[in-house]
Amino acid sequence: MSLPHAILTALLEKPSSGLELTRRFDRSIGYFWSATHQQIYRELGKLEAEGLIRALPAEQPARGQKKAYEVLPAGRAELARWTGASQDPKPHRDALLLRLRAAAVVGTAGIEADLRRHLELHERQLAEYREIERRDFPPGRDGPEDRLRHLVLRAGIDLETFWIQWLGHALAEFAHLPDAGEGERPGEPRA
């Protein structure tokens, strides 16, 4: 149950229409909580029905017309409640690690190329984060909110760095692996 709170945060940072929110989810917020425009419109409808946000009074006849929302006091309160509440971390899912484990059983054919591709993707993402850091957090301004936002960005940077390192490590491992090519011992399972 985090999407509504992601939207409330975005709207508090700046009142927006659905499409503007979508675009902001493609950048900053989407880096750790992605959402498509369909999700966002659906959720905006719910949040308005619950009285947590409202459409900014302006001309909004209907379809094809921009409709901006702002957060109501009840929405801010709900966000503060959620932010401070204790929450268990969700179990972690990573298909790449799963594939590597599968590769240990059915062979490594094909996976190395994809590791390389992932490495490239992570390098691109890291570059993007560093660019944001350079632009938004120059060594000077550090109010309390800036420090928190910077902390979040650092998590992104360090995570990408971690993956790049790990993928390098993995590829090195492949370099001097016999490379079974196709399942190592196609019959027998092992404990």
Does 64 help bind DNA (rule: CB under 7 A)?
yes
**Which is nearest to 75 in space by CA: 57, 56, 55, 53?**
53
User: H-type helices in 107-143, by residue range?
Assistant: 111-136
Residue 3 C-beta: closest distance to a copy of itself, Å: 9
Binding residues for DNA, total number by CB under 7 A:
28
Tokens of 131: 């660019």
Rank residues 49 and 175 by Cβ distance to DNA and give the closer one: 49
Does 97 help bind DNA (rule: CB under 7 A)?
no
Q: DSSP for 57-113, please give it.
A: SS---STTS--EEEE-HHHHHHHHHHHHS--PPPPP--HHHHHHHHHHHH--TTHHH
Does 68 help bind a copy of itself (rule: CB under 8 A)?
no
66 binds, among a copy of itself, DNA, none (CB under 5 to 8 A by kind): DNA
Does 170 help bind a copy of itself (rule: CB under 8 A)?
yes
Tokens of 72: 């109501």
Tokens of 19: 């499409």
For residue 14, which amino acid is it?
K
Task: Annotate each residue in 17-56 with x if it binds a copy of itself (CB under 8 A) or - if it does not, as one string.
Answer: ------------xxxxxx----------------------
For residue 112, which amino acid is it?
E
Does 127 help bind a copy of itself (rule: CB under 8 A)?
no
Does 28 help bind DNA (rule: CB under 7 A)?
no
Rank residues 18 and 153 by Cβ distance to a copy of itself and give the closer one: 153
What's the rounded Cα separation, in Å, for the pair 94 and 166?
14
What are the φ and ψ backbone dihedral angles of 17, each rounded to 5 degrees?
-90, 170
Does 83 help bind DNA (rule: CB under 7 A)?
no
Rank residues 19 and 98 by Cβ distance to a copy of itself and give the closer one: 98
Cα-only R_g, the chain: 22
Residue choice 58, 62, 113, 191 for contact with DNA (CB under 7 A): 62
Does 93 help bind DNA (rule: CB under 7 A)?
yes
Residues that bind DNA (CB under 7 A): 1-3, 17-20, 34-39, 41-42, 44-45, 61-68, 90-91, 93
